Amino acid sequence: MSRLARVYERYADVVPDFPAFLAAHGAPAPLHVRVNTLKADTGRVRSRLAAAGIPAAEEPWCPGLLRLDAPEGFAPGTTLLHALGHIYVQSASSAVPAVGLAPEPGHRVLDLCAAPGSKTTLLVQQMEDTGCVVANEPNRKRLRSLATNLERMGAGSVLVTAYSGQNFPKRVRFDRVLVDVPCSGEGTWRGPAARPRRIRPDFRDYLVRQQSALLRRAYEVLEPGGELVYSTCTYAPEENEGVVGPFLEETGARVIPLEVAVPAEPGLTVWDGRRFPGDLRLACRLYPHRFDSEGFFVVRVAKP
Amino acid sequence: MLGYLEERFGIPAEALSGCRMVRRGGYVCALRAQCEPLARELQAAAGGLRLVKETGPGRFKPATRGMQVLGRLARRNVIDLDDATLRRLLQGQTVPVAEEGRGFVLLRWDGGIVGVGLLRAGQLVAQIPRTVTEHLRLPGEGPIL
């Protein structure tokens, strides 16, 4: 049994077509870049890429998100388009939470765990750089990369804060909150360079406590009638349904459909003897053999 | 500052009508007005788009990132570059140009503003910070990407 199979075998009963799921992890995720519509035009970027011999197909569910058919070794981060802030390198899955949050121009939005800023800058684009996005990141090193990326993308409607997410001030309220929590990252282990590893139970418990606290604070700073999106890049039900389920029961929040047209599997209602609220069927599990990108879990929640 | 951008580049002040000007690290930055109430309540580590650096009383140097956004509204003191000229400027070379005058100009390539240049006696030099180009790898030949 391969290392990958050993690490992922705990999901054999919940992932449909498990052999195809394992096989998909053998190849790297396709390369995507997102056009920064604050600065650049998608047509022009595609023309530039085509002139350099790189065909780019736009994802129909996310305007400006381009799947590149690039030669091996091509690094979009070294191009002038990247230096100018015309493009942002972002996996397709990682765009789903921001697209699913669907902020409107003029909204107040909080991105509670924002670095390095891929989702923040997509939120800014969706809002046409109006309203206000608060991008929060407590880690000093990651904060620098967040600020650099926001500068590069030319965002004028973003405030950067450095609060511990669990302790984000409750004196302010938001129309939308994105809480893309730190996680075990199992969904990113694709391709020959990936190094899958077993997650120790004590580390998983630590993550779950942190994720639960972040989700609760995200909900607390949400306006009544507001919506939040909780996401991870892991398959582990403990970090996904296991965090959101108890939160739903405790708060009375309800899950609403994520309106993003990508092939997703429903959230789990049973795992390892635990039962989760039936609402969680509306959550989205993104698997690489169904949606050729990284593995993700995304759920959209409304505050009554 | 708005007068400077209008006078030098023809960028209309209305382009920033929904913004407040805030000072940060020697720069004047444009921040959306809707951010102001939140900026009062929260401790912000950064925010807003750098427009100009204040180099003295009433003296400004346009900032790369701000001009990349606002520069598309500029009507004067803009120099269009072909791939070869841009390549030389990004390599730090001084390039002779046909334009007259002196002072800061905006460098336009492929319809978008790359950054700021300094024009003096028919010689043009780029003023693009190293932080912008540190990861840039220009191809030896062929179109710039």
Check A108 against B34: CB less than 8 A apart.
Answer: yes
Q: What is the pLDDT of residue B16?
A: 94
pLDDT band at A146 (very low <50, low <70, confident <90, very high): very high
- What are the DSSP calls for A28-48, one per residue? PPPEEEEE-TTT--HHHHHHH
Assess whether A220 and A124 both reside in one domain: yes
Mean predicted confidence (pLDDT) in A7-31: 95
Q: For chain A, report the end-to-end CA distance as a whole number of angstroms.
A: 48
Mean pLDDT, rounded, for A86-101: 98
Which tokens in the block code for residue A73?
């070794």
Cβ <8 Å between B48 and A156:
yes
pLDDT tens string A249-282? 999 999 999 999 999 999 999 999 999 999 999 9
**Shared-domain flag, residues A83 and A179:** no
Contact list in A for residue B69 (CB cut-off 8 A) is: 38-39, 154, 156
Task: Walk me through the domains of chain B, giving residue ranges and CATH numbers.
Answer: 1-66 (no CATH), 77-145 (2.30.130.10)
Q: Examine residue A116 and say whether the peptide bond preceding it is cis (omega within 30 degrees of 0).
A: yes
Domain that holds residue A68: 30-90
Question: Is 80 exceeded by the pLDDT of residue B140?
Answer: no
Contact residues, chain B, for A75 at CB < 8 Å: 137
Residue A73: pLDDT band (50, 70, 90) is: confident
Express each pLDDT in B77-126 by its tens digit. 999 999 999 999 999 999 999 998 999 999 999 889 999 999 999 999 99
To the nearest whole angstrom, how far is the Cα of A83 from the nearest Cα of chain B? 6
Percent of all residues in chain B with a pLDDT value above 90, rounded to a whole number:
85
Q: What mean pLDDT is predicted for residues B14-35?
A: 94
CB pairs under 8 A between A and B: 119
User: In this predicted structure, what is the pLDDT of residue A196?
Assistant: 85
Tokens of residue B97, six digits: 């140009």
Q: Which of B29, B31, B145 is the mutation pick for testing A, counting most A CBs within 10 A?
A: B145
Confidence check: pLDDT of A1 > 70:
no
Catalytic site residues of A? 233
Contact B144 A80 (CB under 8 A): yes
Query: What CA–CA distance (Å, rounded) separates A258 from A93?
Result: 13
Question: Is the model's pTM score more than 0.80?
Answer: yes
pLDDT score of B127 more than 80? yes
pLDDT value for B143: 82
Pairing of strands A274-275, A270-271: antiparallel
- Here the CATH number for the domain that contains residue A80 is 3.30.70.1170
- Structural domains in chain A (count): 2
Residue B20 has pLDDT above 80, yes or no: yes
Q: Encode pLDDT of B44-62 as tens digits.
A: 999 999 999 999 988 999 9
- Nearest of A52, A55, A61, A57 to residue A81 by alpha carbon: A52
Q: Does B41 touch chain A (CB under 8 A)?
A: yes
One domain for residues A8 and A110 = yes
Shortest CA distance to A152 belongs to which of B133, B74, B1?
B133
| Contact assignment for B32 to A157 by CB distance below 8 Å | yes
Asked if B143 lies within 8 A of A131 by C-beta distance, the reply is: no
Compute the average pLDDT of residues B24-31: 94
ipTM: 0.94
Q: Are residues A63 and A167 in the same domain?
A: no
What digits encode the pLDDT tens for the residues A176-194?
A: 999 999 999 999 999 988 8
Look at residues A90, A111, A135 and tell me which one is the last residue of a structural domain. A90
Q: Which of A90, A116, A132 is the last residue of a domain?
A: A90
What average pLDDT does chain A have? Answer: 96
CA distance A297 to A237: 9
Same domain, yes or no, for A247 and A103? Answer: yes
